[in-house]
Amino acid sequence: MNKPLRRIAIFCGLLVLALLVRVNWLQYVKAEELNGSEYNKRVDIERYKSERGNIIVDGKPITGSIKTDDTLYEYKRTYVNGPMWAPVTGYASQVFGANQLENLEDGILTGNDDRLFFDQTLSMFTGDEKKGGNVVTTLSGAAQKAAYKGLGDKKGAVAAIDPQTGKILALASTPSYDPSTFAGRSNKDSKAYNALQPKNDPDNPMLNRALRETYPPGSTFKVLTAAAGLEHGVIKDVDAKTDSPLPWIMPGTTTPLPNENNIPCKDVSLREALRMSCNSVFGKLGVDVGKDKMLETAKKFGFNEEQFIPVRADASIFPEDINESQTALSSIGQFDTRATPLQMAMLAAAVANDGKLMKPYMIDRLETPGVDVLEKTEPEEQSRPLTQEHAQMLQSIMETVVEKGTGANAQIPGVTVGGKTGTAQHGENNSKNPYAWFISYAKTDQGSPVAVAVVVEDSSANRDDISGGGLAAPIAKAVMQAVVDKK
């Protein structure tokens, strides 16, 4: 081969090599980035060219798909009782994407998950239209309805868990929204979505308050402080007098830690302190346990880390770098202590389950379009924050709160109920209306089928009318009743 031909051959070879490198670069290295690009409409078109699978509660779909007039985006999502279920499903929009279960299980719901390859290949030969698989949840329709109805027009959230398995039974948040209103591509859909944004609606109805909002837990946190006192040997007998002077001056200050309405909290037992919700007793108990052991106990219950159910829940916080007076305030659920309703339901669930905290989860199983099981979630222990003995001691005093204390509004005839009320101050100098809290569990001969946490941000109520026992306990009672009746 003469020299000019050899040069041309080498040049052509380099061009072919460059082409091969480029193709492999795009197909393998850049594939994921290109698939997720906002400019790549093929992914969205593929997602909505066939019916999505459904999200299932109690054996019935709470989602659906309808045919559109669009030749590219052929189907759009619909929802049954959308506002009630939005904190569970999230949304799937042709324009605004998807979130929560609609997003996390998008591969199953669209039928594009690799595990559905056989089903989709088979449909090519049978001529059946491609369909997505189903996501079967752990939710109870009766419990969710009770939670949503109980919250009504109030701003707040409810989380309910089966303490024995970790199954989430209810997850409600109000105010809510209807994902159907912006599932399509019309101007009407865009207006509906934009109207829900925080800049246009200060109530922020798209915020999942059960998972993504942390609140000062107030006196409901005293359950955790009591657990820490028992676990670390500061309290050995829940009916023995405590060394709790009145007034009790917070360490390093000249400021007494006040109790509501001057209740007689001097040297009372842990049982009486929880029944009356004595700040002075639990503030001192937190200091006696110490900030490090309080933090250790809080972490065992799930504080200071995100939870995935599989939807992400924000981390609840027990502050780490604090002095003794701040430890006292943190131990009564104030200062920088913050918690999601899910976290407080986990606290109640661990106590109800004799000290064993089961990992909370919301998906029971994933199914093919033909309802064959692809994947099933098995209950999993997350931690052991309490010994069985201490958990049962704590159950005993929480049940006193409902039988003879501030939680009387949660009583259910024929059912043992344990609980704790909370009225959490917030705002500069506690200037804003407090949050009303209630955490509880119900117990039958078969064990504890449900633990509940309720928080109500009722800014429209008279400040003097806001209390965990008055606003939140009746909602918790309705949710527990719904679960017990179903059992």
User: Both tokens of residue 392?
Assistant: 């049962």
* Confidence label for 32 from pLDDT (cuts 50, 70 and 90): low
**Residue indicated by tokens 């081969």:** 1
* CA-closest candidate to residue 418, choices 403, 388, 398: 398
User: Both tokens of residue 274?
Assistant: 């929880």
pLDDT of residue 149: 97
Q: Give the range among 46-50, 185-189, 340-344, 406-410 with minimum mean pLDDT.
A: 46-50
The pLDDT of 23-48, averaged and rounded, is 66
Model confidence pLDDT, tens digit, residues 371-380: 889 999 999 9
The pLDDT of 69-74, averaged and rounded, is 81
Q: So where are the chain's domains?
A: 41-135, 211-486
pLDDT of residue 24: 73
- CB atoms under 10 Å from CB of 353, counted, come to 24
* CA-closest candidate to residue 63, choices 49, 75, 46: 75
Model pTM greater than 0.85? yes
Question: Is pLDDT at 168 greater than 80 in this prediction?
Answer: yes
CATH, range 211-486: 3.40.710.10
pLDDT of residue 434: 79
Using CA atoms, how far residue 49 sits from 65, 89, 107, 332, 430, in Å, is: 11, 21, 14, 54, 53
- Taking the CA atoms of residue 299, residue 305, residue 309 and residue 310 in that order, the dihedral angle to the nearest 10 degrees is -150
The count of residues in the chain is 487
Distance in angstroms between the alpha carbons of the first and the last residue of the chain: 88
* Confidence label for 6 from pLDDT (cuts 50, 70 and 90): confident
Question: Is pLDDT at 126 greater than 70 in this prediction?
Answer: no
- Confirm if 182 and 190 have CB atoms less than 8 A apart: yes
3-state secondary structure of 366: strand
Cα–Cα–Cα angle for 135, 111, 39, rounded to 5 degrees: 110
- Confirm if 198 and 175 have CB atoms less than 8 A apart: no
Q: Which range is most confident: 31-35, 319-323, 469-473?
A: 319-323
Cα–Cα–Cα angle for 472, 422, 144, rounded to 5 degrees: 30
The proportion of the chain whose per-residue pLDDT surpasses 90, expressed as a percent, equals: 74
Report the alpha-carbon distance of residue 220 to residue 227 in Å, rounded: 12
SS3 content of the chain, % helix, strand, coil (to 5): 45, 20, 35
Model confidence pLDDT, tens digit, residues 75-90: 999 999 999 999 999 9
Catalytic member of 93, 176, 219, 269:
219
- The helices-and-strands tally (H runs, E runs) of the chain is 18, 18
Q: Which range is most confident: 13-22, 119-128, 285-294?
A: 285-294
Report the alpha-carbon distance of residue 329 to residue 370 in Å, rounded: 55
Residue of 23 and 310 predicted with greater confidence: 310
**Residue indicated by tokens 């082409």:** 19
Respond yes or no: is residue 140 known to be catalytic. no
pLDDT of residue 370: 82
Q: Give the range among 141-145, 195-199, 390-394, 467-471 with minimum mean pLDDT.
A: 467-471
Which run of H or of E encompasses 297? helix 291-300
**Residue indicated by tokens 């052509």:** 12
Report the alpha-carbon distance of residue 385 to residue 317 in Å, rounded: 16
Report the alpha-carbon distance of residue 410 to residue 432 in Å, rounded: 26
If 0-12 CB within 10 Å is exposed, 13-18 middle and 19+ buried, where does residue 431 land?
exposed
- Confirm if 74 and 68 have CB atoms less than 8 A apart: yes
Question: What pairs with residue 462 in β-bridges?
Answer: none
5 HSE (CA, 13 A, CB side): 2
User: Both tokens of residue 420?
Assistant: 């704790």
Q: Phi-psi bin for 290: left (phi > 0), alpha (psi -120 to 50), beta?
A: left
Question: Is pLDDT at 429 greater than 50 in this prediction?
Answer: no
Model confidence pLDDT, tens digit, residues 319-370: 999 999 999 999 999 999 999 999 999 999 999 999 999 999 999 999 988 8
pLDDT of residue 461: 42
- CB atoms under 10 Å from CB of 332, counted, come to 28
* Confidence label for 9 from pLDDT (cuts 50, 70 and 90): confident
Superfamily of domain 41-135: Penicillin-binding protein 2a (Domain 2) (3.90.1310.10)
pLDDT of residue 462: 39
pLDDT of residue 476: 97
**Residue indicated by tokens 């026992």:** 469
User: Both tokens of residue 68?
Assistant: 């559109």
pLDDT of residue 465: 35
Model confidence pLDDT, tens digit, residues 410-420: 999 999 999 99
3-state secondary structure of 370: coil
